[in-house]
């Protein structure tokens, strides 16, 4: 899977990538609605973190946001921590998305996830961790975590818990073409899953059917 901006790639290149089995996602771009739709027609299949780092939704120029919601073939990632995107914008995007493509949850998570690190370097730039978020030194948001996003859209947006979990599991697996063995607890699939409390707090993490983390052991 690769994220690219139409400004930096031709349609022929997108078609070549798609034909080679690469999932092409549009993002980090000021592309217009028409441009984004035309790239979807030649093989782009997804949009990277909706609303963030892209042309916005305007009433005369719908931009990439408009194309992401109106184009049924596009699967669309969304950072749903309540910081990267306003809850109202998340809500209308979820209601407006045309199928069969889905909105799925992404994190932009980095190497501090699951640790107590407060800072680290990424490509020579310092990333700071605090107040439930990752930021660059200038305050630019840099990452979130998945379980918090699931809880957020369930508790704050009223999303049924089953659908919130599908947005973090089944839908992203569908988007990258690995639904046969990831994203679902079914026969022949990899037994990768979380055990959660009714309040959506983490009890344990299982990878390949083996317990990899137990929250009761600290």
Cα 54 to Cα 36, 77, 86, 154, distances in angstroms: 11, 13, 15, 26
63 within 8 A of 52, measured Cβ to Cβ = no
User: 3-36: b or e for each residue (b if 16 or more CB lie within 10 Å)?
Assistant: bbbbeebeeeebbebeeeeebbbbbbbebbbebb
Q: How far apart are CA 58 and CA 54, in angstroms?
A: 12
Q: Which of 1, 61, 2 lies closest to 30 in space, CA to CA? A: 61
Q: Which of 102, 214, 106, 89 lies closest to 168 in space, CA to CA? A: 106
Catalytic residue annotation: 108
Q: How far apart are CA 189 and CA 100, in angstroms?
A: 23
Q: How far apart are CA 167 and CA 117, in angstroms?
A: 28
Cα 8 to Cα 12, 18, 182, distances in angstroms: 12, 16, 32
């Amino acid at each position: 899977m690769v994220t690219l901006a139409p400004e930096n790639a031709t349609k022929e290149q997108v078609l070549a990538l798609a034909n080679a089995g690469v999932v092409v996602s549009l993002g980090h771009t000021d592309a217009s609605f028409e441009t984004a739709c035309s790239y979807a027609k030649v093989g782009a299949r997804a949009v990277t973190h909706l609303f963030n780092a892209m042309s916005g939704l305007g009433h005369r120029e719908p931009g990439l946001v408009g194309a992401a919601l109106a184009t049924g073939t596009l699967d669309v990632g969304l950072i749903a921590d309540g910081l990267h995107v306003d809850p109202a914008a998340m809500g209308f995007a979820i209601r407006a998305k045309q199928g069969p493509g889905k909105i799925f949850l992404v994190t932009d998570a980095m190497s501090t996830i699951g640790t107590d690190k407060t800072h680290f370097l990424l490509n020579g730039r310092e990333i700071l961790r605090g107040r439930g978020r990752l930021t660059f030194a200038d305050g630019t948001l840099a990452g979130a975590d998945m379980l918090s996003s699931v809880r957020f859209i369930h508790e704050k947006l009223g999303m049924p818990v089953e659908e919130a979990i599908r947005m973090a599991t089944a839908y992203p697996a569908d988007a990258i073409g690995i639904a046969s063995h990831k994203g679902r607890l079914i026969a022949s699939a990899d037994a990768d899953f979380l055990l959660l409390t009714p309040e959506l707090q983490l009890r344990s993490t299982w990878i390949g059917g083996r317990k990899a983390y137990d929250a009761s052991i600290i």
